[in-house]
């Protein structure tokens, strides 16, 4: 029998309810209890959506007010001393001071460092450790949310960030000190957490260890199996699922997982293509991440079913899931109003991905008797995307055929080019400039919103942007910047602006994903061959250059960034 599990679900809300509530709370416009009420309603919705869409192992503790790593910092009492924590249960005041910084008479401190979560566009807060670091259970969050779900009739699978990932993604404030040296100190707290969850009735506990897919040194590898065995010892009647994602596991690391005492291993079969080699001979329960948790395209369900039939042993207990948490995927395609219908039929957001998993489970467990229509429609949608004229642009394909190695060869050397450039530009030895855009101030955002709503005509909006551009150039001239920029006031976003001027892009109304905290982004959707029919930046660069005798720098978002942020 196959079961369906979620490895994590989006938390911002279908209409960004969490973002809106957080920002009202930070402005002191709603109380802590009102913020908690919004959070509770979002968790309830998430559990209900998972249940309705056939999920057997529903997740809890994947909700966060800001970041799951910050939640773990609070859970383990790893609060840096500058936040003046009183060593009781971590309050929201301390929590948000670490997330956003605090500037008041009581506490004047910066936020924790933030950086990218592996190769995603999500950002996490970096734990800070000292050589004399201590840990203690300092938050009831996973227990409270498990009980909250239980009171609604859901026995959930709590998700905890694992000790190896937590320590290795952190940084030490002591030169030469390895954060891994804190493993023996931190394990008792993890065991306490696991034991409490088991006592509350958790049948499964998910421990996320994505760090295991990275290149690890022998010292770390040697600690994997003993660490997992210690976690399993604390689990009592609960089963332990170790979750890895984003890449393939190295054979040596897989062997440590496979011979440990844990009950199940999650493998990313989308970005970890080599992980399929571990399926046939694995004696543990496998959680197979067969649906992509990081994109918005429908899966070919017939090919996924065929893969499972060929790869998984029928006598083994198998769990199927998304490749990773759905944190990186928008909420619900049913809310989408902007994407053209022909493209929309190719898409699958978080809620729809749960349904895809349920259809696969139903076919494997019961056959296709009751889902023939859904599988046939999926097949038609996949074929439609493959053959659509929207995707295939003959002129682009023709140009691609002309590309060869000659495009990588310059006609002159750098030394020749730099001399010509210096003769033309006559810049000082150390010229000054800025990175690019100037702040999108409230008046800019308001004018853009009015223009989009039709309350400001095109000519008036353009004149407003011209005035802003002239003003910012004058400011740079006043402080004698050598190479000025035009401010980019006409651009709504460094990626979306270019996508709007390129064929092969479309944009959604509801495709929001969390970048960090309350910061949500709506990435453009690349659906086909990309080309441009007219200039994208010349008008504003030319206008800016006409306003000054100084050099105006042209600003372009690079192709790799556009691809990664779409």
Q: What angle do CA 11, 12, 16 make, to 5 degrees?
A: 155
Closest CA to 157 of 382, 376, 321: 321
pLDDT for the residue 494: 85
For helices 372-387 and 301-311, the axis angle rounded to 10 degrees is 110
Farthest CA pair distance, the chain: 77
Strands (E), 117-198: 123-125, 128-129, 157-161, 171-172
Residue 84 backbone zone (phi > 0: left; psi -120 to 50: alpha; other: beta): left
pLDDT in tens, 395-444: 888 988 999 888 888 889 999 999 999 999 899 999 999 987 899 899 99
CB-CB neighbours of 138 under 10 Å: 20
> Which residue matches tokens 């011979």?
259
Convert the pLDDT of each residue in 247-275 to its tens digit: 999 999 999 999 999 999 999 999 999 99
- CB-neighbour burial class of residue 59 (10 A; exposed 0-12, middle 13-18, buried 19+): buried
Sign of CA dihedral 207, 213, 214, 217: positive
Residue 30: predicted pLDDT: 97
pLDDT of residue 176: 86
pLDDT in tens, 38-64: 999 999 999 999 999 999 999 999 999
Q: Check pLDDT > 70 for residue 479.
A: yes
Mean pLDDT calculated for residue range 161-170? 98
DSSP 441: -
pLDDT of residue 315: 64
* Domains of the chain (ranges, CATH numbers): 2-64+127-387 (3.20.20.210), 433-564 (3.20.20.210)
Neighbours of 191 (CB within 10 A): 17
Name the pLDDT band for 87 (thresholds 50, 70, 90): confident
Torsion of CA 16, 18, 22, 24, to 10 degrees: 60
Is residue 312 very low, low, confident or very high in pLDDT (cuts 50, 70, 90)?
confident
- C-alpha 348/C-alpha 86 separation (Å) is 46
- Decide if 171 contacts 111 (C-beta within 8 A): no
Distance of CA 162 to the CA centre of its chain: 18
pLDDT of residue 407: 86
Q: What does the buried/exposed string (b/e) look like for 151-190 if buried means 16 or more CB atoms within 10 Å of the residue's CB?
A: eeebebbbbbbbbbbbbbbbebeeeeeebbebbebbbebb
- What's this model's pTM, rounded to 2 decimal places? 0.91
The torsion angles phi and psi of 549, rounded to 5 degrees, stand at -90, -10
> How large is the average pLDDT for residues 68-74?
97
Does residue 129 register a pLDDT over 70?
Answer: yes
Q: What's the pLDDT score for residue 174?
A: 86
What percentage of the chain's residues is helix, strand, coil (to nearest 5)?
45, 15, 40
What pLDDT, on the 0 to 100 scale, is given for residue 499?
A: 87
Query: Degrees (nearest 5) of the Cα angle 402, 405, 410?
Result: 110
Alpha carbon distances (Å) from 160 to 133, 190, 194, 261: 20, 9, 9, 18
Parallel, antiparallel or unpaired: strands 114-116 and 123-125: antiparallel
Q: Packing angle between helix 17-26 and helix 32-52, nearest 10 degrees?
A: 170
Residue 535 zone, left/alpha/beta (φ > 0; ψ -120 to 50; rest): beta
Tokens linked to 208? 């996320």
Which residue in 264, 319, 251 sits closest to 291, CA to CA?
319
Mapping DSSP onto H, E and C, the string for 497-541 reads HHHCCCEEEECCCCCCEEEECCEEECCCEEEEEEECCCCCCHHHH
Please state the rounded mean pLDDT for residues 96-118: 94
**∠ CA 558-562-566, rounded to 5°:** 175
Q: What is the mean pLDDT of the chain?
A: 94
Query: How far is CA 86 from each of CA 81, 395, 557, rounded to the nearest angstrom?
Result: 10, 66, 46
pLDDT value at 314 more than 80: no
The pLDDT of residue 11: 96
Q: What confidence category does residue 316 fall into, taking pLDDT thresholds of 50, 70 and 90?
A: confident
User: In which band, very low, low, confident or very high, does the pLDDT at 283 lie, cut at 50, 70 and 90?
Assistant: confident
pLDDT band at 31 (very low <50, low <70, confident <90, very high): very high
Nearest to 466 by CA among 544, 536, 535, 542: 544
- Give the DSSP per-residue string, 220-244: HHHHHHHHHHHHHHTTTT-EEEEE-
CA–CA separation, 249 vs 412, rounded Å?
45
Cα dihedral 88, 91, 93, 96 sign: positive
Q: What are phi and psi of 90, to 5 degrees?
A: -70, 125
User: How far does Cα 534 stand from its chain's mean position?
Assistant: 33
């Amino acid at each position: 029998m196959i079961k369906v599990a979620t490895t994590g679900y989006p938390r911002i809300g279908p209409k960004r309810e969490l973002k809106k509530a957080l920002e009202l709370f930070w402005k002191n416009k709603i109380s802590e209890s009102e913020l908690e009420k919004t959070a509770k309603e979002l968790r309830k919705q998430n559990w209900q959506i998972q249940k309705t869409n056939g999920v057997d192992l529903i997740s809890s503790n994947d909700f966060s007010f800001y970041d799951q790593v910050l939640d773990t910092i609070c859970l383990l009492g790893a609060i840096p001393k500058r936040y003046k924590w009183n060593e009781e249960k971590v309050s929201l005041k301390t929590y948000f001071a670490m997330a956003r910084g605090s500037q008041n008479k009581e506490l004047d401190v910066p936020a924790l460092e933030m950086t990218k979560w592996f190769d995603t566009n999500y950002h996490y807060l970096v734990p800070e450790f000292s050589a004399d670091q201590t840990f203690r259970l300092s938050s009831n969050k996973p227990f409270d949310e498990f009980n909250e779900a239980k009171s609604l009739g859901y026995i959930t699978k709590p998700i905890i960030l694992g000790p190896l990932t937590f320590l290795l993604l952190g940084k030490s404030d002591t030169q030469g000190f390895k954060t891994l040296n804190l493993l023996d100190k931190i394990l008792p707290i993890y065991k306490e957490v696991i034991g409490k969850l088991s006592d509350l009735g958790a049948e499964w506990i998910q421990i996320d260890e994505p760090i295991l897919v990275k290149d690890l040194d022998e010292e770390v590898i040697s600690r994997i199996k003993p660490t997992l065995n210690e976690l399993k010892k604390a689990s009592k009647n609960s089963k332990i699922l170790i979750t890895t994602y984003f890449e393939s596991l190295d054979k040596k690391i897989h062997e440590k997982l496979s011979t440990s005492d844990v009950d199940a291993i999650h493998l990313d079969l989308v970005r970890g293509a080599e992980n399929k080699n571990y399926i046939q001979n694995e004696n543990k329960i496998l959680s197979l991440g067969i649906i992509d948790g990081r994109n918005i395209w429908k899966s070919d369900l017939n090919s996924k079913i065929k893969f499972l039939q060929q790869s998984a042993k029928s006598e083994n207990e198998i769990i199927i899931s998304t490749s990773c948490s759905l944190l990186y995927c928008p909420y619900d395609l049913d809310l989408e109003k902007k994407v053209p219908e022909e493209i929309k039929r190719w898409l699958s957001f978080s809620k729809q991905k749960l349904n895809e998993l349920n259809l696969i489970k139903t076919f494997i467990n019961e056959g296709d008797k009751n889902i023939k229509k859904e599988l046939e429609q999926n097949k038609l949608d996949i074929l439609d995307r493959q053959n659509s004229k929207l995707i295939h642009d003959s002129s682009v394909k023709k140009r691609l055929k002309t590309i060869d190695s000659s495009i990588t060869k310059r006609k002159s050397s750098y030394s020749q080019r730099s001399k010509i450039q210096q003769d033309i530009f006559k810049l000082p030895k150390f010229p000054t400039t800025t990175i690019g855009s100037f702040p999108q101030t409230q008046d800019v955002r308001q004018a853009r919103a009015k223009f989009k709503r039709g309350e400001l005509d095109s000519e008036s909006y353009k004149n407003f942007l011209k005035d802003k551009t002239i003003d910012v150039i004058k400011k740079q001239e006043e402080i004698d910047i050598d190479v000025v920029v035009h401010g980019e006031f006409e651009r709504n976003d460094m990626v979306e602006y270019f996508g709007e001027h390129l064929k092969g892009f479309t944009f959604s109304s509801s495709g929001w994903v969390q970048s960090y905290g309350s910061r949500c982004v709506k990435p453009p959707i690349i659906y086909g061959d990309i080309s441009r029919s007219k200039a994208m930046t010349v008008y504003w660069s030319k206008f800016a250059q006409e306003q000054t005798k100084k050099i105006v720098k042209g600003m372009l978002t690079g192709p790799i960034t556009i691809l990664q942020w779409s």
